[in-house]
Amino acid sequence: MLFNDFRKGLSVTFKYLFKKPVTENYPYEKIKMPQRARWLHHFNPKKCIMCKLCENICPPKCIYMTVVKNEEGKRELKGYDIRIDRCIFCGLCTEVCPTKAITMTDVHEFADKDRKNFHFNMEQLSKVGQEEEKKVG
């Protein structure tokens, strides 16, 4: 009986011994991300209408939008910050945006040892957006 179990285990081992490995050599070979993967945000301030829906719907409250009124009485976007270390990448902020000013990209390599580097402001998110648009268009 013990030999039977040993034989079954070795049969599984020998079955996979001559097949192609399923692991990736990650740092040297980039992983192809799924088409609808949700990673780093891309923000287009020109499309933003400052409705604050993304800030209000965010479950961990990691989006901070600063809107002020200028001399003419019109609203103006002064700041748009995301704390990626608190983000759960749920995608609710992208779904609720009526103008699609915020979207998710496939940029997933932003690991760092310092927490201060996980605080992305409007300029940084806009650059990610420009890189994404160049890739698409």
| Ordered domains of the chain (ranges, CATH) | 33-136 (3.30.70.3270)
Question: Measured between alpha carbons, how far is 3 from 127 in angstroms, rounded to an integer?
Answer: 62
pLDDT in tens, 15-58: 888 888 778 787 788 777 777 777 889 999 999 999 999 999 99
Question: What is this structure's pTM?
Answer: 0.71
Question: Measured between alpha carbons, how far is 3 from 9 in angstroms, rounded to an integer?
Answer: 10
Residues pairing with 64 in the sheet = 81
Instruction: Give residue 137's pLDDT band: very low, low, confident or very high (50, 70, 90).
Output: very low
Contacts of 96 (CB under 8 A, 6+ apart): 53, 54, 57
pLDDT at 36: 76
Question: Measured between alpha carbons, how far is 92 from 96 in angstroms, rounded to an integer?
Answer: 6
Amino acid, res. 32: K
49-54's contacts with Cβ under 8 Å and 24+ in sequence apart are 49/98, 49/99, 49/101, 50/75, 50/77, 51/98, 53/96, 53/97, 53/98, 54/93, 54/94, 54/96, 54/97, 54/102
How many CB atoms lie under 10 A from the CB of residue 79? 12
Whether pLDDT at 77 is above 50? yes
